[in-house]
Amino acid sequence: MAPQAVAAKAAHENFPVALRMLPRTYREHLMAVYVFARTADDLGDQAPAAERLALLAVLEADLRALYAGLGDGGPPDDSMSVQAAIAGLARPVRECGIPMQLFVDLIRANQQDQVVGRYQTFEDLAGYCRLSANPVGRIVLYVFGSYTDERAEQSDYVCTGLQLAEHWQDVAEDLRAGRIYLPLDDMSVHGCSEHDLAARHAGPMVRELMAFEVGRARSLIDTGAPLIGSLRGAARAAVAGYVAGGRAALAAIEAAEYDVMATTPRPGKARTVAELARAYVRGR
């Protein structure tokens, strides 16, 4: 998929809700990161199943080639075999000093998706989120020149919560892809089976399970949200936007009475904007 087509999906994601209000340089850097992350996800989800691991390996090789080229003194030139999604990272990587491992972790998450379709415990799922979500928040901090270890820890809480919110919105879609991100232990406690997740509508036990998981995701986001108050200007607006997107997504699941089988709950723009304003002003 071309980077332009990948970027067109951004408006439908939870995380880039604040992009339009940011200065151009930040928008361009964050969009380059989004295009990379979306490309890795699409290779892991939409490429022919037999080719996914090989394609992800190529993506990693191209990423390493990019960093090797920058280490030699400049961005890759036309002689280097670097995909457009990778080449777009040259400027933010060079200007913001983003560690390569954060991008490698995003690839690792998609490689894990090819071999792991169930998570027994929440701790197992949180380990997946450390690869699939937390690197994005840390990259954002580097983009804004705001990275510290303390902020990174707060960002990890927010990003894990955002990842969970997305999983809870997409329970039915993920099941069709052969994956269940709801921890099996939690399903057992609430008396839910995979058969229940395949129903056209969520039954009472599934709704109770989803209410529990929504509360867990909200708690994680709220734990990390004071990160907003430590930031100023564009960085504060961006992180407030991400927090707002997660909170609005969870509110949409609640508004659907936790029936994530009948539809994919999506928040309205008004709710997202209201959450953004609230988070920005309160700093959490």
Q: Collect all residues with Cβ–Cβ distance below 8 Å to 9 and sequence separation of at least 6.
A: 38
What local confidence, expressed as pLDDT, does residue 21 receive?
82
| 3-state SS track over the chain | CCHHHHHHHHHHCCCCCCHHHCCHHHHHHHHHHHHHHHHHHHHHHCCCHHHHHHHHHHHHHHHHHHHHHHHCCCCCCCCCCCCHHHHCCHHHHHHHCCCHHHHHHHHHHHHHHCCCCECCCHHHHHHHHHHHCHHHHHHHHHHCCCCCHHHHHHHHHHHHHHHHHHHHHCHHHHHHCCCECCCHHHHHHCCCCHHHHCCCCCCHHHHHHHHHHHHHHHHHHHHHHHHHHHCCHHHHHHHHHHHHHHHHHHHHHHHCCCCCCCCCCCCCHHHHHHHHHHHHHHCC
Query: Are the C-beta atoms of 135 and 77 separated by less than 8 Å?
Result: no
* Ordered structural domains, the chain, with CATH: 3-282 (1.10.600.10)
**What are 3's two structure tokens?**
């980077």
Q: What's the rounded Cα separation, in Å, for the pair 33 and 88?
A: 8
Query: pLDDT tens digits for 171-201?
Result: 999 999 999 999 999 999 999 999 999 999 9
Assess whether pLDDT exceeds 90 at residue 80: no
Query: pLDDT tens digits for 113-129?
Result: 999 999 999 999 999 99
Chain-wide mean pLDDT for the chain? 91
What percent of the chain stands above pLDDT 90? Answer: 86
Query: pLDDT tens digits for 26-40?
Result: 999 999 999 999 999
For 77, left (φ over 0), alpha (ψ -120 to 50), or beta?
beta
Q: Please tell me the pTM assigned to this model.
A: 0.92
Query: Are the C-beta atoms of 18 and 233 separated by less than 8 Å?
Result: no
